[in-house]
Amino acid sequence: CEAAITRPITDDPDMQRSIHELVRAIF
C-alpha cells in the first residue's frame, strides 16, 4: 500500500515528503 502511494510521487520530492508526513500522521 505504502509503495503504491510513494511510487507515483517518487517523481516529486516535495510531494513525497508531504505524503510521508501525512502517512506518518495517519499511521
How many domains does the chain divide into?
1
- pLDDT value, residue 23: 85
- pLDDT value, residue 13: 78
* Containing structural domain, residue 3: 1-27
> How many CA within 13 A on the CB side of residue 18?
6
- pLDDT value, residue 9: 52
- pLDDT value, residue 20: 83
- pLDDT value, residue 18: 85
In the numeric block, which cell numbers belong to residue 23?
A: 502517512
1-27: per-residue pLDDT in tens?
566 555 565 567 777 788 888 888 877
Site of grid cell 513525497: 16
- pLDDT value, residue 22: 84
